[in-house]
Amino acid sequence: DAGVTQSPTHLIKTRGQQVTLRCSPKSGHDTVSWYQQALGQGPQFIFQYYEEEERQRGNFPDRFSGHQFPNYSSELNVNALLLGDSALYLCASTTPAREETQYFGPGTRLLVL
Protein backbone atom coordinates (compact mmCIF):
# COMPACT_ATOMS: atom_id res chain seq x y z
CA ASP A 1 0.00 0.00 0.00
CA ALA A 2 1.79 3.13 -1.23
CA GLY A 3 1.83 6.09 1.09
CA VAL A 4 1.87 9.72 0.04
CA THR A 5 4.60 10.41 -2.50
CA GLN A 6 6.06 13.74 -3.56
CA SER A 7 8.42 14.88 -6.27
CA PRO A 8 11.00 16.18 -6.60
CA THR A 9 12.71 15.66 -3.23
CA HIS A 10 14.87 18.76 -3.57
CA LEU A 11 14.78 21.79 -5.82
CA ILE A 12 16.86 24.93 -6.24
CA LYS A 13 15.41 27.98 -7.95
CA THR A 14 16.26 31.66 -8.24
CA ARG A 15 14.13 34.64 -7.30
CA GLY A 16 11.39 35.42 -9.79
CA GLN A 17 11.22 31.92 -11.20
CA GLN A 18 8.22 29.61 -11.04
CA VAL A 19 8.09 26.12 -9.55
CA THR A 20 5.74 23.13 -9.70
CA LEU A 21 5.67 20.48 -7.00
CA ARG A 22 3.79 17.20 -7.31
CA CYS A 23 1.98 14.90 -4.93
CA SER A 24 0.29 11.51 -5.20
CA PRO A 25 -2.06 10.73 -2.32
CA LYS A 26 -2.14 7.54 -0.31
CA SER A 27 -4.09 4.76 -1.96
CA GLY A 28 -7.81 5.21 -1.30
CA HIS A 29 -7.50 8.90 -0.46
CA ASP A 30 -9.12 11.60 -2.59
CA THR A 31 -8.34 14.79 -0.69
CA VAL A 32 -4.98 16.55 -0.80
CA SER A 33 -3.70 19.39 1.38
CA TRP A 34 -0.49 21.37 0.99
CA TYR A 35 1.55 22.81 3.83
CA GLN A 36 4.65 25.02 3.96
CA GLN A 37 7.17 24.32 6.72
CA ALA A 38 9.83 26.98 7.16
CA LEU A 39 13.01 26.03 8.96
CA GLY A 40 12.41 25.62 12.68
CA GLN A 41 8.66 26.12 12.36
CA GLY A 42 5.56 23.99 12.28
CA PRO A 43 3.72 23.40 9.00
CA GLN A 44 1.40 26.17 7.77
CA PHE A 45 -1.71 25.27 5.78
CA ILE A 46 -1.67 26.52 2.18
CA PHE A 47 -4.83 24.96 0.70
CA GLN A 48 -6.83 21.77 0.26
CA TYR A 49 -8.17 20.16 -2.90
CA TYR A 50 -11.15 17.86 -3.17
CA GLU A 51 -13.03 16.82 -6.32
CA GLU A 52 -10.57 18.88 -8.36
CA GLU A 53 -11.59 22.10 -6.60
CA GLU A 54 -9.82 24.24 -4.02
CA ARG A 55 -11.95 23.69 -0.93
CA GLN A 56 -10.17 25.88 1.58
CA ARG A 57 -7.23 28.23 1.53
CA GLY A 58 -4.86 29.43 4.22
CA ASN A 59 -3.22 32.82 4.50
CA PHE A 60 -1.04 32.60 1.41
CA PRO A 61 -0.87 35.02 -1.55
CA ASP A 62 -2.24 34.27 -5.01
CA ARG A 63 1.29 33.42 -6.16
CA PHE A 64 0.50 30.03 -4.64
CA SER A 65 -1.90 28.03 -6.75
CA GLY A 66 -2.77 24.41 -7.18
CA HIS A 67 -4.51 21.80 -9.16
CA GLN A 68 -5.98 18.38 -8.58
CA PHE A 69 -6.28 15.80 -11.33
CA PRO A 70 -8.99 13.16 -11.86
CA ASN A 71 -6.67 10.51 -10.38
CA TYR A 72 -6.54 12.66 -7.17
CA SER A 73 -2.88 13.61 -7.59
CA SER A 74 -2.11 17.28 -7.11
CA GLU A 75 0.31 20.03 -8.05
CA LEU A 76 1.40 23.10 -6.14
CA ASN A 77 2.60 26.02 -8.25
CA VAL A 78 4.44 29.01 -6.89
CA ASN A 79 5.06 32.01 -9.17
CA ALA A 80 7.50 34.90 -8.80
CA LEU A 81 9.54 33.09 -6.16
CA LEU A 82 10.87 35.03 -3.20
CA LEU A 83 13.74 34.13 -0.90
CA GLY A 84 11.15 33.64 1.85
CA ASP A 85 9.51 30.83 -0.13
CA SER A 86 12.45 28.59 0.78
CA ALA A 87 10.90 25.82 2.87
CA LEU A 88 9.87 22.20 3.04
CA TYR A 89 6.57 21.76 1.18
CA LEU A 90 4.47 18.94 2.55
CA CYS A 91 1.54 17.22 0.95
CA ALA A 92 -1.03 15.41 3.07
CA SER A 93 -3.89 13.19 2.02
CA THR A 94 -7.11 12.02 3.59
CA THR A 95 -10.58 10.89 2.67
CA PRO A 96 -13.98 12.28 3.77
CA ALA A 97 -14.78 9.07 5.60
CA ARG A 98 -11.71 9.56 7.85
CA GLU A 99 -11.09 13.29 7.80
CA GLU A 100 -9.82 13.14 11.37
CA THR A 101 -6.58 11.65 10.06
CA GLN A 102 -4.17 13.06 7.52
CA TYR A 103 -1.08 11.28 6.26
CA PHE A 104 1.92 13.30 5.14
CA GLY A 105 4.43 12.72 2.40
CA PRO A 106 8.20 13.18 2.83
CA GLY A 107 8.10 16.69 1.40
CA THR A 108 9.92 18.69 -1.26
CA ARG A 109 12.69 20.93 -0.01
CA LEU A 110 12.75 24.15 -2.03
CA LEU A 111 15.68 26.54 -1.87
CA VAL A 112 15.29 29.95 -3.51
CA LEU A 113 18.54 31.81 -4.19
Partner 1 sequence: GEDVEQSLFLSVREGDSSVINCTYTDSSSTYLYWYKQEPGAGLQLLTYIFSNMDMKQDQRLTVLLNKKDKHLSLRIADTQTGDSAIYFCAESFSGTYKYIFGTGTRLKVLA
Q: Which of 25, 29, 33, 68 binds partner 1 (CB under 8 A)?
A: 33
Q: Is 103 in the site for partner 1 (CB under 8 A)?
A: yes
DSSP assignment, residue 5? E
Which range binds partner 1 by CB under 8 A, 13-21, 36-44, 65-73, 74-82?
Answer: 36-44
Asked if 23 contacts 35 with a C-beta cutoff of 8 angstroms, the reply is no
Residues lying near partner 1 in the complex (CB under 8 A):
4, 6, 31, 33, 40-45, 48, 55-56, 58, 90, 92, 99-107
